[in-house]
Structure 1
Amino acid sequence: MNETVYQKLLSLVSPFIKKKDTIMRRAISPHERLTATLRFPATGRSYECLKFSTRISPQSLGKIIPETCNILYKVLGKYMQFPNSEEKWKEIATLFEERWHFPHCIGAMDGKHIEIIPPHNSGSYYHNYKGKHMVLLAIVDAKYQFLQVDFRTNGRISDCGVLQNTSFFEKLVNENLHISQPDDVSDNLKNVPYVFFADDAFPLRTNILKPFRQGLLDSAKKEVFNCRLSRARHIVENVFGILASRFRIFQSPINLEPENIEKVVMGTCALHNLLIEQQSNTYAPVNLMYQENNYDGSVISSGCDR
């Protein structure tokens, strides 16, 4: 994060995190609160470790960081706005088609299992076959930005179960998302609906597409469909990869109370969208990612090999 973006962020959160001095001691300034909060997910260090670089006690950090992350998620809401009109959905679909050559895609969805150290006496509530986790369900657009995130479900629930517990799925079923009506893609493709892409863990619906299973790949057309869909859907996997590489808190179990974990995770998702929007060249540079050769379909590797 460069200084310009940091100063902009500081001006947004300062009115909400500024505290008054008392006759006993000087209040911790918004600048100190914000820098400590940004260091926590970026480094993945504990409160005990951060006290040396921030000069703030672990007890105070335990209050400051979740509170500031919650404020970050709220003030950065304009960078994570869910489309509410047919025009905005069509803008997303147009960009997906330009970049990934798949028409009428309005978002890619997937779940990321975030490892935590569960509360005492929680039993198997957070346990699944991968370990002890909470699930981050995300829908992303073609610009590597989150459209919507949900992080309230324990790891025992599958991705499909997480989806069905969200307000997004309820609106999707009740057709309250203001998605554009099906229209023609070409002379050969008529009345095609606008859809979200997902993997095999999600339900197949008119507005949710997923690949054909391996046993059903009995034609070249199905294989091409799987290739195109997977190529476009992998953008959500890339977003999770960027998030985990830039915020190292996701690379080890998070040792916080579940409600504080939610605030930190949601705050980092909002920061991700801000940095993609404001300084994507340094936050997620193109030369650090695999790219595809448009002529022969081969993969071009770059700095990601080093």
Structure 2
Amino acid sequence: MSRSWAQAAMTTGFLSVEAMEQASVLCAAVIVAASVVVSDGRCLTKSRQNVYAFQNDKWGQVKENAQSEGWFRRNLRCSRSTYETIVQRVADKWCYVHERLHHNTVFGIDDRVAMALLHHNTVFGIDDRVAMALQYLTHADGYDPTAEIFGISKTRAYMYVCQVVLFVNKCFLSRTVRLPNDSAEWEEIRRGFEMKAGFPNCYGALDGSLIPIKRFADFDGWYCRKGFPAFNMQAVVDDKLRFRSYSLRSGSQNDKSLFNHSRFGRTCHKVVPVGDCFVGDTGYKLYEHIMTPYPILSHMSDEDRAVLRFVEDTFRIHQTVFLHDTPEQMAALITCTLVLHNWFIDLDDYEVDDDDTTNKENWMYIGGDDIYPHELHLIDGEQAESARSKIRDYLFKNHCSSGESQPLSFNWDLVALNISRPKSNCENLSQVNDGLVVHSSSRDLSSPFFKMEGLAVELYRDAVKTWPSNGQVIYAQHTSTHVIVYQAYNAEIAEALLRAQCFHSPEVARAGFIMTRMTWIKPNFLWMMHRSSWARARNQERIVALKLQRQGFDQLVQTGVVSSFYQSTFESKDEWRTQLSASNVRIQWDPDHRPNGAKHPTRRAIQIGVRGEALLKLSTDMLDGIIDVTPFVHEQQREDPMDDSVWLDNLIVPVERIYDPHQSSC
């Protein structure tokens, strides 16, 4: 062995002279090579956190090449200048955040020292981490491509992305996604909407969007009305398509409830002048400060549509699918992208794809408001008065005679109702001459108009007397041989199902139905109405009834795995997860709902998820017919001006009674 090798070994402190003399040349070379400090400053006597981080040469070349604009557009979805601006914003505040972002970064450390430590101890600087976060957040294909592009392990990519997400949320979320704080900023938004959409006195567009998420272990209550786990995010956007306010909750909460429980919903009437408003879609109540379009879409003005397109386009731009491990982490990713979205807008750097990216796929609170779960149903703050009672009182006072049922013809006289609105919008609404029929409390159920093919119906006020007041209950329309269940689809799939009378037909597959995905059947008609918003929800405009053989339905109930561990009989979560992932049939007990959408406090209704082989068996062996009940649903829909008590007194529903799957006959 040469003297230089021996001296190097002694210097590192790993070997003595005697040991070196006894060792072979090969062993000595291996030991010395492992202990000598490498060119980038790493060694085994220091922290080992970066042993497996090897920067991709291609990424380094991209950074050095001034002509690499196309790479940034393809991989980061922004220009190089936008990327560099974001890096500068992050770098300016990096050292002030929590020590979890970097093991050598603590509160109070000098900026230059912190930056030197960051660059000295890792081959990946702030600019590299920001680039990785942008690549991951603007693509929906996971961490594998991110790790490959930047030449690091997936674990390291995950850590760096989480650092940037945590940092952006901590330092920029509250100051970037916010309502205006001075009159000049409000006035700029008002002028923008009037100039671009022709809608006067508007300070923001309001809507909600379902964001599909990966199902996590504790997902009970996260299924949205379309049958998949999701977040429901309510957002207010301005005329420049920037997010101004958001509220993020689980997908099972509808837009109306989300608005009522959000801080924006409870306080927005205080920030707009009298006569001015925000604009929302038909899913929101009509308030003095919230203008909603006429329920019949054909009566919407061009100005209404133009304003609502602002919020729809904003959601379309913000189109990344967010997948992560826990609700909190998924929420952090979503809020981080809100900040990045607004930065892209401010820097005039965004592109709208031509493809339609609309998502076709427990009320638990996640983000956007400082509310805790136990405060969810508490209304803490002055609440604006709803216009519904004013409209109802005005209509019945001026147009209805006592004890008489008659057609009504009226104009939306908002001025007479003492509801302030921009003058031009009042004129548009006043041109709508709607025929509103107030039915008497007695309805002839023998009329063919109120019958569904093959199904029996009754008044809701009579049906509710036969239903239990609490517990997990299956009640359905059933005979000794069959059980009726309901589903909601878009028009194309519904028409294909009605023609094929089964799920496994190639025609149904061409319409967009996928046999391997979980499809949910619901024996409770009103629960189906809640999920589909009475056939008004997107991609749920058609309601079909399935006539299933009773024996097959019983088998589904008895063999399905409950989707919540706490409602199951399994002794361990591991056993429950194993059975849940392997089963093609799932049982979910959700809060039952009344016709107006109110949640029943003590009763839970069942829905059954079926996929794969179980769905094929249902389609081939259990299904004896598919019936279109959409016309019946349309007839029973509530007209907005009608009082709830009048509607419920006249509402007709299918006959449904308690069902026991253990009995062989009804």
TM bucket (normalised to shorter chain) is 0.7 to 0.9
| Counterpart residue number, 1:12 | 89
Q: Distance in 2 between matches of 1:91 and 1:32?
A: 37
Counterpart code for 2:307: A
Q: Shift of the alpha carbon at 1:75? A: 2.9
Residues 243, 342 of structure 2: 8 Å contact kept: yes
Sequence identity (%):
19
Deviates more, 1:123-132 or 1:266-275: 123-132
Counterpart code for 1:227: D
Q: Shift of the alpha carbon at 1:146? A: 1.1
Residues 18, 29 of structure 1: 8 Å contact kept: no
Q: Shift of the alpha carbon at 1:278? A: 0.9
Q: Distance in 1 between matches of 2:124 and 2:134?
A: 15
Matches within 5 A, 1:165-244: 165-172=261-268, 175=270, 177=271, 179-180=272-273, 182=274, 193-214=275-296, 223=299, 226-244=301-319
Deviates more, 1:45-54 or 1:69-78: 69-78
Residues 18, 30 of structure 1: 8 Å contact kept: no
Residues 222, 231 of structure 2: 8 Å contact kept: no
Residues 110, 199 of structure 1: 8 Å contact kept: yes
Indicate the SS of the match to 2:203. Answer: strand
Cα offsets for 1:207-244 (capped at 9, x unmatched): 001111129x7xxxxx3x53321221111001111221
CA radius of gyration, larger in: 2
| Counterpart residue number, 2:254 | 158
What root-mean-square deviation, in Å, do the aligned CA atoms of Structure 1 and Structure 2 show? 2.7
**CA distance 1:67–1:162, shift in 2 (3 Å):** farther
Q: Shift of the alpha carbon at 1:118? A: 2.1
Q: Distance in 2 between matches of 1:123 and 1:207?
A: 35
| Counterpart residue number, 2:181 | 84
Residues 72, 267 of structure 1: 8 Å contact kept: yes
Counterpart code for 2:151: R
Q: Distance in 2 between matches of 1:75 and 1:134?
A: 22
**CA distance 1:111–1:141, shift in 2 (3 Å):** same
Q: Distance in 2 between matches of 1:75 and 1:38?
A: 16
Q: Distance in 2 between matches of 1:230 and 1:70?
A: 37
Q: Shift of the alpha carbon at 1:103? A: 0.5
Q: Shift of the alpha carbon at 1:108? A: 0.2
Aligned pair count reads 257
Long gaps (5+) in structure 1: 183-192, 218-222, 290-306
Residues 83, 131 of structure 2: 8 Å contact kept: no
Long gaps (5+) in structure 2: 1-77, 95-100, 105-116, 356-666
Deviates more, 1:13-22 or 1:123-132: 13-22
**CA distance 1:36–1:159, shift in 2 (3 Å):** same
Indicate the SS of the match to 1:110. Answer: strand
Q: Distance in 2 between matches of 1:136 and 1:71?
A: 22
Residues 40, 50 of structure 1: 8 Å contact kept: yes
Give the TM-score of the pair, scaled to structure 1: 0.75
Matches within 5 A, 1:136-151: 136-151=233-248
Q: Distance in 1 between matches of 2:157 and 2:261?
A: 32
- The answer to whether residue 334 in structure 2 is matched with residue 265 in structure 1 is yes
Residues 19, 28 of structure 1: 8 Å contact kept: no
Indicate the SS of the match to 1:128. Answer: coil
Q: Distance in 1 between matches of 2:143 and 2:290?
A: 42
Out of 324, 348, 354, which is 1:279 matched to? 348
Counterpart code for 2:328: E
Residues 224, 253 of structure 2: 8 Å contact kept: no
Q: Shift of the alpha carbon at 1:85? A: 3.0
Q: Shift of the alpha carbon at 1:76? A: 6.3
Matches within 5 A, 1:13-32: 13-14=90-91, 15-16=93-94, 20=104, 26=122, 28-32=124-128
Q: Distance in 1 between matches of 2:317 and 2:180?
A: 23
Q: Shift of the alpha carbon at 1:48? A: 3.1
Indicate the SS of the match to 2:231. Answer: strand
Residues 211, 229 of structure 1: 8 Å contact kept: yes
Q: Distance in 1 between matches of 2:228 and 2:259?
A: 20
Cα offsets for 1:121-141 (capped at 9, x unmatched): 423433432421101211011
Indicate the SS of the match to 1:81. Answer: coil
Counterpart code for 2:351: A
Cα offsets for 1:100-158 (capped at 9, x unmatched): 1110011001111000012114234334324211012110111111111222x000000
Q: Distance in 1 between matches of 2:313 and 2:140?
A: 20
**CA distance 1:141–1:130, shift in 2 (3 Å):** farther
Q: Distance in 1 between matches of 2:125 and 2:276?
A: 48
**CA distance 1:288–1:145, shift in 2 (3 Å):** same
**CA distance 1:230–1:49, shift in 2 (3 Å):** same
Q: Shift of the alpha carbon at 1:94? A: 1.3
Residues 219, 229 of structure 2: 8 Å contact kept: no
Indicate the SS of the match to 1:135. Answer: strand
Residues 172, 339 of structure 2: 8 Å contact kept: no
Q: Distance in 1 between matches of 2:175 and 2:219?
A: 36
Out of 178, 190, 194, which is 1:97 matched to? 194
Deviates more, 1:28-37 or 1:198-207: 28-37
| Counterpart residue number, 1:190 | none
Q: Distance in 2 between matches of 1:269 and 1:108?
A: 16
Q: Which has the higher helix share?
A: 1
Indicate the SS of the match to 2:163. Answer: helix
Counterpart code for 2:247: D
- The answer to whether residue 159 in structure 2 is matched with residue 47 in structure 1 is no
| Counterpart residue number, 2:374 | none
Q: Distance in 2 between matches of 1:130 and 1:122?
A: 13
Residues 19, 29 of structure 1: 8 Å contact kept: no
Indicate the SS of the match to 2:245. Answer: strand
Q: Distance in 2 between matches of 1:124 and 1:78?
A: 31
Q: Shift of the alpha carbon at 1:25? A: 5.9
Out of 194, 200, 213, which is 1:116 matched to? 213
Q: Distance in 2 between matches of 1:109 and 1:172?
A: 11
Residues 276, 284 of structure 1: 8 Å contact kept: no
Q: Distance in 1 between matches of 2:343 and 2:139?
A: 19
